[in-house]
């Protein structure tokens, strides 16, 4: 097996035995990125010098036996909306094109402590607003299974980098499906943890009550290992929950006998791609054969997930993005000095892309005088009903299984002219963020055209372990053919 095909656990064994050095592995990945990234556009910034310095430091720790973490010396990628000290963090926007943070996000600091090697920052939809990674200042990311198709978004660069073996694993952020949807499109494993499980400190905010950082990996075991490193209470994040972090790998037993598997009737809808539905239903039967018990459930308010999400998320975005005014940091329009108002207007008009401006305007309207009660307040009330649906469903089941996305990856440019069609791609994922639940996407098959299909597994609050256990049992029963080979 070539080095770039290795998983975290496989590479850790090689590094620990000194069969290879982290510097050797890192150079191998940097060479691969140099060869393939121009076409795939998975990375915005490649941090070659920093990566090699980290690799040499990791080799020193490994040589002294001072490297308990399985991530020590392992090359990973960081989504470009997480602050990295000394390495630019752009959010794929002109507004932050040259911004170099003076501090690390908490998750980045945790990964540094674990000895991980940062290859660079991955492409994304601008400020994480999109479902295709086409809304990027640096151009679209391309699906490694078909270069004419999207990777999904907004964590499309991270999913692409993992699928194309341009890193061993990567971080992503998920506000309405931004880890799970690109994981499905690219044929990798991606997990959104429970809201509050992973610190958001140093994550550039999109919608603060919805954003959550999580892992993207080649298999479920790697996903659990990266989640372990990311999780934990952080006093610098007021939404971080001080809850015990279990040993996630201990859940990977492969035994799901008696596990109650909820199948929501609302998630197998008319108009869904037939091959996607067939692949997910086959995957459910695999879990049944492994001993899981299917239970039909109902999530009656799921139909309101898209409008509720696109009211709450845009309202919070309009507030969070008000800080980008050309005064303290980031982009400032040239020649905008006649007045403060002109500087604000020109900076924001030129600094933000079309999709970001659309969402800011939608959110500002929803929060405006005379409309707040009719839109934002009502959306929050329906959000409570959506959360209640899930709580009632989990009285009858242990996990919920659904498709991740209603269709496979679509051609680049096909939906950019129709924002509503793009928004509807999130129909199966947004409700999970609204309820704050953990959710994982795992490859479960391919279409006749060879495009990956993902199955989504959802769990109770802070029960990532059962979600991972279910995913691992499915993975154990099937040999995945969705990840690209060299």
Instruction: Output the pLDDT for position 141.
Output: 98
With the CA atoms of 444, 445, 447 and 452 taken in that order, what torsion angle do they form, in degrees rounded to the nearest 10? 60
**Whole-model pTM?**
0.96
Instruction: Output the pLDDT for position 305.
Output: 97
Which of the two residues, 144 and 327, has the higher pLDDT score? 144
Share of the chain above pLDDT 90, in %: 92
Instruction: Output the pLDDT for position 120.
Output: 98
pLDDT at 169 over 90: yes
For residues 196-200, average pLDDT: 98
Report the chain's mean pLDDT, rounded to a whole number: 96
User: What residues are labeled active site?
Assistant: 79, 154, 178
Distance (Å, rounded) from C-alpha 429 to C-alpha 405? 8
pLDDT at 482 over 50: no
Instruction: Look at residues 79, 52, 46, 276 and name the one whose alpha carbon lies nearest to residue 160.
Output: 79
pLDDT at 18 over 60: yes
Burial (0-12, 13-18, 19+ Cβ within 10 Å), 16: middle
Chain centroid offset of residue 261 CA:
24
Q: Cα dist. 332→185, 281, 325 in Å?
A: 36, 51, 8
> What band does 483 get if pLDDT is binned at 50, 70 and 90?
very low
Distance (Å, rounded) from C-alpha 484 to C-alpha 465? 27
pLDDT at 337 over 80: no
Q: Cα dist. 345→328, 339, 362, 446 in Å?
A: 15, 10, 17, 47
Could you tell me which CATH number the domain at 1-486 has?
Answer: 3.90.1300.10
> What band does 1 get if pLDDT is binned at 50, 70 and 90?
low
Chain centroid offset of residue 127 CA:
13
pLDDT at 398 over 50: yes
Min mean pLDDT across 64-68, 117-121, 445-449 is at 64-68
Chain centroid offset of residue 231 CA:
15
Report how many helices (DSSP H) and strands (DSSP E) the chain contains, helices first.
Answer: 15, 11
For residues 346-370, average pLDDT: 95
> What band does 338 get if pLDDT is binned at 50, 70 and 90?
confident
Q: Cα dist. 100→38, 82, 91, 136 in Å?
A: 23, 11, 11, 18
Instruction: Look at residues 305, 276, 303, 291 and name the one whose alpha carbon lies nearest to residue 405.
Output: 276
> What band does 484 get if pLDDT is binned at 50, 70 and 90?
very low
Q: Cα dist. 36→4, 42, 109, 157, 412 in Å?
A: 13, 9, 28, 13, 18
pLDDT at 479 over 70: no
For residues 324-340, average pLDDT: 85
Instruction: Output the pLDDT for position 328.
Output: 86
In contact, 405 and 276? CB cutoff 8 Å: yes
Share of the chain above pLDDT 70, in %: 98
CA angle (377 as vertex; 374, 379 as ends), nearest 5: 90
């Amino acid at each position: 097996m070539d080095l770039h095909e290795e998983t975290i656990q496989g590479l850790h064994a090689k590094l620990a035995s000194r069969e290879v050095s982290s510097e050797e592995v890192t150079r191998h990945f940097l060479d691969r990125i140099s060869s393939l990234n121009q076409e795939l556009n998975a990375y915005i910034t490649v941090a070659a010098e920093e990566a090699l310095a980290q690799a040499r430091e990791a080799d020193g720790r490994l040589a002294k036996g001072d490297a308990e973490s399985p991530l020590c010396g392992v090359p990973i990628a960081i989504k470009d909306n997480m602050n990295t000290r000394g390495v630019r963090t752009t959010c794929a926007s002109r507004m932050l094109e040259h911004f170099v943070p003076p501090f690390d996000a908490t998750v980045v600091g945790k990964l540094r402590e674990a000895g991980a090697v940062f290859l660079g920052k991955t492409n994304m939809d601008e400020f994480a607003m999109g479902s295709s990674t086409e809304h990027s200042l640096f151009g679209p990311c391309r699906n490694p299974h078909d270069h004419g198709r999207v990777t999904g978004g907004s964590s499309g660069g991270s999913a692409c980098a993992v699928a194309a073996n341009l890193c061993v694993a990567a971080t992503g952020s998920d506000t309405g499906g931004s880890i799970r949807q690109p994981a499905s499109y690219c044929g990798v494993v991606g997990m959104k943890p429970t809201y509050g499980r992973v610190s958001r400190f140093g994550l550039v905010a999109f919608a603060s009550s919805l954003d959550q950082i999580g892992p993207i990996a080649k298999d479920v075991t790697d996903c659990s290992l990266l989640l372990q490193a990311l999780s934990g209470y952080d006093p610098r994040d007021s939404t971080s929950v001080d809850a015990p972090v279990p040993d996630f790998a201990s859940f990977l037993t492969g035994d799901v006998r008696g596990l109650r598997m909820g199948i929501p009737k609302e998630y197998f809808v008319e108009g869904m791609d037939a091959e996607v539905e067939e692949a997910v239903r086959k995957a459910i039967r695999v879990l049944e054969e492994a001993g899981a018990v299917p239970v039909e459930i109902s999530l009656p308010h799921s139909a309101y997930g898209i409008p509720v999400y696109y009211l709450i998320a845009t309202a919070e975005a309009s507030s969070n993005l008000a800080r980008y005014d050309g005064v303290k940091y980031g982009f400032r329009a040239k020649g905008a000095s006649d007045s403060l108002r002109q500087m604000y207007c020109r900076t924001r008009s030129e600094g933000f892309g079309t999709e970001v401006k659309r969402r800011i305007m939608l959110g500002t309207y929803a929060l405006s005088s005379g409309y707040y009660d009719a839109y934002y307040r009502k959306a929050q009330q329906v959000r409570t009903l959506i959360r209640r649906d899930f709580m009632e469903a989990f009285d009858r089941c242990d996990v919920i299984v659904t498709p991740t996305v209603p269709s496979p990856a679509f051609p680049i440019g096909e939906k950019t002219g129709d924002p509503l069609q793009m928004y509807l791609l999130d129909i199966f994922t947004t409700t999970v963020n609204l309820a704050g639940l953990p959710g994982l996407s795992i490859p479960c098959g391919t279409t006749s055209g060879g495009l990956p299909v993902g199955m989504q597994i959802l769990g109770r609050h802070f029960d990532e372990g059962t979600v991972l256990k279910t995913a691992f049992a499915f993975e154990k029963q099937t040999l995945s053919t969705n990840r690209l080979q060299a």
